[in-house]
Amino acid sequence: MLEIGLNDQLQHFKVDLGRLDEAVDLVLATTRKAYPTFDVPFHSRWRHFVVGGVDRWAALADAKSWRDGNARARAEFDLAMISVLLDAGAGPSWRYRDPLTGASIGRSEGLALASLDMFARGAFSAKADEPLRADAAMLERLTVADLQTGFQVADDNPLVGLEGRISLLRRLGQVASTSPRIFARHDTPRPGGLFDHLTGTADAGAIAASTILSELLRQLGSIWPSRITLGGVSLGDCWRYPALKTEDATSGLVPLHKLSQWLSYSLIEPIQQAGLQVTDIDGLTGLAEYRNGGLFVDAGVLVLRDPTDVQREHDVASPLVVEWRALTIALLDRLADLLRQRVGLDPVSLPLAKILEGGTWAAGRALAFARRPDGSPPVKVSSDGTVF
């Protein structure tokens, strides 16, 4: 897609690599402000559980007597998988009122806190004496009303894509229930059982980050809405773009898998904490979502051919959105290379997971609020709660 763009043959966007240095400047300044020593954590769901400097999940987990490190890891897999699947965009008006501080928190941080509070209350657990878990049987029975209550949804506090989110969680429960070999090796069926499956693939105590993604796509593929299928398999966050031609059955397909990759990044730390090594962290791509993508549009690296497109809402399957998301992935790699050159670090010491956190996501948000009072993305996308 980037090659087509550099040849000025895209339908909706022009690519101006001359503006990429300015985007690097902004990302570098944003990273240094948040992490002066450049000790940047990974971009993952765990960052959003830190509210007002307090790590809410760590406080809960550290106070509990776990049977062993694997038991904690299963719980963290449960929480990460549920919270990430609930993390598609919240829309500009939804807010979650934090019961502890009274603060009103929107977007990804609000979704994270709402899901954590539900998890802490045992909303996903089938065991009254073990709230910090998610059981397949409970996920299968979740209702829209459960999510409306937990996420404080009301007429004056709407959350987009509610049905899509609850459907994902129900299907997650169904997959875990029907695949005990994967999800119930050492417990009753639960999403966190994937931890035991993944550790079973470890080689000399090490797991490649790409293996995490591969297993997520393989084991959870059926939870995604069936938009495009190949060989009877639903491809999830994968879209058609006819100009991208190959000589096989993948011709015209653009695989993005934003939520699956976000989840892959979010499972690295629980695996590490359980005593295993995660290798090739830079083997995952950037995330094709509106903060990273918005960074390139707002910085002028990506320019819409038709300026009036910013006034319209675009379907996630539209060529415009597919172009935007694919270009975001490619440009994140270009930006990462330039940023590493600036600071003298390599992909092992500064993987993309840290650049996203430091980083492109935060810089994209800052630029969005500088350009638009509500911090909305520069391109409006209609979401069903399963993509962004």
One domain for residues 58 and 18: no
Please say if the pLDDT value at position 204 is more than 90.
yes
Domain of residue 109 covers 45-285
Question: Residue 88: pLDDT band by 50, 70, 90 thresholds?
Answer: confident
One domain for residues 81 and 92: yes
Q: Is the distance from CB of 112 to CB of 137 less than 8 angstroms? A: no
Residue 202 CA to residue 275 CA, distance in Å, equals: 12
Q: Indicate the number of domains in the chain.
A: 2
CA distances from 71 to 61, 135, 327 (A): 11, 14, 40
Q: Is the distance from CB of 83 to CB of 116 less than 8 angstroms? A: yes
Decide which of 285, 300, 328 is a domain's last residue: 285
Collect all residues with Cβ–Cβ distance below 8 Å to 84 and sequence separation of at least 6: 45, 259, 262, 263, 266
- φ and ψ of 299, to 5 deg: -85, -5
Residue 342 CA to residue 25 CA, distance in Å, equals: 10
One domain for residues 225 and 341: no
Strands 238-240, 380-382: pairing is: unpaired
One domain for residues 197 and 327: no
- List, as one string, the DSSP characters of 143-159: -HHHHHHHTT-BTTB--
Please say if the pLDDT value at position 388 is more than 80.
no
Please say if the pLDDT value at position 224 is more than 90.
no
One domain for residues 224 and 346: no
Residue 249: predicted pLDDT: 93
Residue 284 CA to residue 280 CA, distance in Å, equals: 8
CA distances from 356 to 61, 91, 149, 223, 350 (A): 26, 21, 32, 26, 10
Question: Residue 146: pLDDT band by 50, 70, 90 thresholds?
Answer: very high
Amino acid at 269: E
Decide which of 254, 285, 316 is a domain's last residue: 285
350 token code pair: 């500064």
Residue 74 CA to residue 65 CA, distance in Å, equals: 14
One domain for residues 69 and 155: yes
Residue 187 CA to residue 305 CA, distance in Å, equals: 54
One domain for residues 36 and 56: no
What's the pLDDT tens digit per position in 237-279?
999 999 999 999 999 999 999 989 999 999 999 999 999 999 9
Residue 128 burial (CB < 10 Å; 0-12/13-18/19+)?
exposed
Question: Residue 90: pLDDT band by 50, 70, 90 thresholds?
Answer: confident
Dihedral-angle region of residue 330 (phi above 0 means left; psi in -120 to 50 means alpha; beta otherwise): alpha
In terms of DSSP H, where are the helices of 35-94? Answer: 56-63, 69-85
One domain for residues 169 and 98: yes
One domain for residues 208 and 321: no
pTM listed for this prediction: 0.93
Residue 180 CA to residue 27 CA, distance in Å, equals: 44
What's the pLDDT tens digit per position in 20-79?
999 999 999 999 999 999 899 999 999 999 988 899 999 999 999 999 999 999 999 999
Residue 383: predicted pLDDT: 73
Residue 320: predicted pLDDT: 98
Amino acid at 315: D
Residue 87 CA to residue 165 CA, distance in Å, equals: 8
One domain for residues 258 and 154: yes
One domain for residues 279 and 249: yes
Decide which of 248, 267, 285 is a domain's last residue: 285
What's the pLDDT tens digit per position in 207-223?
999 999 999 999 998 89
Residue 47 CA to residue 109 CA, distance in Å, equals: 9
One domain for residues 37 and 49: no
Q: Is the distance from CB of 76 to CB of 27 less than 8 angstroms? A: no
